[in-house]
Structure 1
Amino acid sequence: MIAYIRGKIAEITDQAVFVEANGIGYELICPNPFRFQTKLGQIEKIYTYHHVREDAQILYGFEKTDEKTLFSKILNVSGIGPKGALAVLASTSVQDFVTAIEQENEKFLTGFPGVGKKTARQMILDLKGKLPFDYTMEEFTAARDGKETNDLALDEAIEALKALGYSDKEINQIKPKLKQEKQQEADGYIRKGLALMMK
């Protein structure tokens, strides 16, 4: 099993980071490859999950060990594959996901691509109380309260973008990036949304 790779970030694509180590180029599929944009050309350590199936061997790459751990745990959920687990990690933080599982927040979980109510319930059933992350109840409460504020502001921003004439398809394409912003006010999300739309 390959636990991590230390090498030069040689190339970044929409789905992967290419790392050169000892003359070998490794393709690492990542939740957010562009997190490594500022490290292009530098020597970095990337934690890896080696996924083996009958027709392929794939390396998934993560910036932090807790992301790798959560990825492996999500893979154990019935009906969730690597693509679904990556989508979760691309859209949220480890702490926010753990908070949602422990508080059985189905609304939060069904916000991920391809996750309906049935899959959300399965996630809670398979993962609640079994995730190896040491967050206190105070942190859970703070994360929940902050999430509720963020959700309200994001919802308001999305309605504003619709009022400006943007389609659901256009908004859904930028929504994962907006969620990462952690804004407390709708205006912040709107400004970011407009900037993303202009790209």
Structure 2
Amino acid sequence: MFEFIKGSVDFVGPEYIVVENNGIGYQIMTPNPFVFAKETGKEIRIYTYHYVREDLIALYGFKSREEKALFTRLLNVSGIGPKGALAILASGEPEQVVHAIENEDEAFLVKFPGVGKKTARQMILDLKGKLHDLVPDFFPNLFNAEEVAAAESLSTEFDEAVLALKALGYSEKEIRKVAPDLRKEKLSTDQYIKKALQKLLR
């Protein structure tokens, strides 16, 4: 609903900041409100996520679109709500979070507030391999050039093959296991499906 809000920082508290724009003060929850303390009275642009549920309506704000994108990805993980996602972003650098997910480093992930072994495993299952679009600009040194190139080479044929595999009854978890090998080549939809089935039926 709101991509960003541009205004002056009116207040900084332990959980949120208030940004004034045209006489309206927007209460915005952020991972680390006090990083905005030096901006008090100054105009900023903060990228916002409008969260709406039956029991809660709130604005969450971030310094960059990429940080906002990582927040929204975390919300898609079963067991992680907005408070949990904010705590993860507040307690660790986004680069570290992505690196831990890609390397299945559960020991690192459970260090975040509210993240137990079950949630850490769920983060890996739900997000591994799905954060590459954040890497080129936001995390330039996290992956090597070959990995980035492989991520960027995903095609319509590959997407169609994944949909076909799901239609055949394979779960996302099963597909995710064979996806890295499939991504290494540029194939037709049928070729992707055949190659995937060969691996899945082993």
Pick the TM interval, shorter chain.
Answer: 0.5 to 0.7
Partner of 1:139: 141
Per-residue deviation, 1:140: 3.2
Corresponding residue SS for 2:124: helix
Per-residue deviation, 1:115: 0.7
Please tell me whether Structure 1 or Structure 2 has the larger radius of gyration of its CA atoms: 2
AA aligned to 2:142 is F
Distance 1:128 1:96 in 2: 13
Distance 2:81 2:136 in 1: 26
| Percent pairwise identity | 54
8 Å CA contact 2:71–2:89 kept in 1: the answer is yes
Per-residue deviation, 1:135: 5.0
Superposition pairs of residues 1-199 of structure 1, within 5 angstroms: 1-131=1-131, 132-134=133-135, 139-140=141-142
AA aligned to 1:133 is L
Per-residue deviation, 1:18: 0.2
Higher relative contact order (CA 8 A, sep 6+): 1
Distance 2:136 2:104 in 1: 16
Corresponding residue SS for 1:112: coil
CA RMSD in angstroms comes to 1.9
Residues 41-73 of structure 1, C-alpha deviations (whole Å, 9 max, x = no match): 001100100000113310001111111000000
The alpha-carbon distance between structure 1 residues 9 and 87, as it changes in their structure 2 partners (threshold 3 A), is: same
TM-score normalised according to structure 1 size: 0.68
Per-residue deviation, 1:133: 1.6
Distance 2:141 2:125 in 1: 22
Distance 1:94 1:13 in 2: 22
Per-residue deviation, 1:84: 0.5
AA aligned to 2:92 is T
The alpha-carbon distance between structure 1 residues 22 and 138, as it changes in their structure 2 partners (threshold 3 A), is: closer
Q: Would you identify which runs of 4 or more consecutive aligned residues in structure 1 move more than 6 Å?
A: none
Per-residue deviation, 1:139: 2.7
Corresponding residue SS for 2:141: helix
8 Å CA contact 1:66–1:94 kept in 2: the answer is no
Per-residue deviation, 1:141: 7.3
Query: Structure 1: where are the runs of 5+ without partners?
Result: 143-199
Residues 171-193 of structure 1, C-alpha deviations (whole Å, 9 max, x = no match): xxxxxxxxxxxxxxxxxxxxxxx
Residues 79-99 of structure 1, C-alpha deviations (whole Å, 9 max, x = no match): 110010000000111111110
TM-score normalised according to structure 2 size: 0.67
Distance 1:33 1:66 in 2: 18
Corresponding residue SS for 2:134: coil
8 Å CA contact 2:9–2:41 kept in 1: the answer is yes
The alpha-carbon distance between structure 1 residues 36 and 138, as it changes in their structure 2 partners (threshold 3 A), is: closer
8 Å CA contact 1:47–1:64 kept in 2: the answer is yes
AA aligned to 1:52 is V
